[in-house]
Amino acid sequence: MEARNRPFRFGTVTTAGTDVSRLRWSEHARRVEDLGFSTLLVADHFHNSTVCTPRLAAAAAVTTTLRVGSYVYDNDFRHPVLLARESAEIDLLSGGRMELGIGAGWAAGEYAMVGIPFEDGPVRASRYEEAVGIIRALHMGTTLTHAGEHYHLEGAELLVEPVQHPIPLLLGGGGQRMTSFAARHADIIGFVPKSKPAGGLDPAEFSADAFDEKVALLDEATKVRDDGGPERAALVFHVERSADDLPTLDGSSWSSPQVISSGPYALLGDTEHMIDTLLERRERWGLTYLTCFEEDLDLFAPVVARLAGH
């Protein structure tokens, strides 16, 4: 289906907000489901107090229709065969509700914390691309012998039968290389601002102009696909009533309020204005899968109630 004709769906991502108790997490998962969100996602960072894989499994166990997903696993933090198996197991146990999000990594400080080299962007991207191919092949039932630049496998098997064939892959779309790769291989492209060579996200990448360039690249790259290309997703970093509520660029914001408010990573105004904004962004950019942080759930919920599935 052409991107701009797809219905809306919505996710919410947990980083470190939900109380650690099992009861609190179960209640949160059920509430997200009841509010009409499509997906409950968990971030994958060593600096977070939440851990992605067990939380996804726990959320799936107490819900019936809610999809669960990683937003996103850092490829450098685990072996692709392990990630393929863990995601397949969650898909099996959830009855086919797993979405596997993977990225090449951008938080240099976390690499330093655990002693993993933060190699140049092209190296991380190359390793990520190779890993995605391995994971997809295993999810399709292939017994894999592979001799690549970064991974060597001898008769690797999944040995877990997922419900979905294949499990949907959400792949990050930051810079040109990552966007082009996602255009060819992703079921969902998760647009993110491009990372800087030394780590962190580029503040200029939060603008509407920068996003226009990404979407133009994606539109061109997906012409070779006959399914309309990947579903287009974006994380809404800020949900606020007005631009005056955006944090200032003093270390507490990703970029300046002026840049953020012009692009796809902020949603401003009352419910009606937010709905109009998302309809405009679907027409302009084909964005139909929007994710908010857990702390913005209450502001986002009325929008979900009106737009989900439409």
Confidence of residue 203 (pLDDT cuts 50, 70, 90): confident
pTM: 0.93
Give residue 103's pLDDT. Answer: 92
Give the domains, in start order, of the chain with CATH numbers.
Answer: 3-307 (3.20.20.30)
What are the CA-CA distances from residue 156 to residues 29, 58, 76, 80 (Å)?
34, 28, 19, 11
Is 298 exposed, middle or buried, given 0-12, 13-18 or 19+ CB atoms closer than 10 A? exposed
Provide the percentage of residues in the chain whose pLDDT is more than 70.
96
Provide the percentage of residues in the chain whose pLDDT is more than 90.
72
Tell me: the pLDDT tens digits for 100-123?
Answer: 999 998 888 999 999 999 999 899
Give residue 79's pLDDT. Answer: 96
Q: Phi and psi (nearest 5°) for 48? A: -90, 150
How many other C-beta atoms lie within 10 A of the C-beta of residue 198?
8
How many other C-beta atoms lie within 10 A of the C-beta of residue 302?
15
How many other C-beta atoms lie within 10 A of the C-beta of residue 154?
8
Which of 139-148, 251-260, 301-310 comes out lowest in average pLDDT?
A: 251-260
Confidence of residue 246 (pLDDT cuts 50, 70, 90): confident
Q: DSSP character for 195?
A: B
Half-sphere exposure of 206 (CA within 13 A, CB side): 22
Give residue 181's pLDDT. Answer: 94
Mean pLDDT (the chain, rounded): 92
Give residue 298's pLDDT. Answer: 94
Which of 68-72, 151-155, 162-166, 190-194 comes out lowest in average pLDDT?
A: 190-194
Amino acid at 70: S
150: tokens are 């970064």
Q: For the chain, how many residues are written?
A: 310
Closest CA to 171 of 190, 153, 158: 190
Confidence of residue 252 (pLDDT cuts 50, 70, 90): low
Give residue 47's pLDDT. Answer: 86
Give residue 4's pLDDT. Answer: 86
Give residue 185's pLDDT. Answer: 95
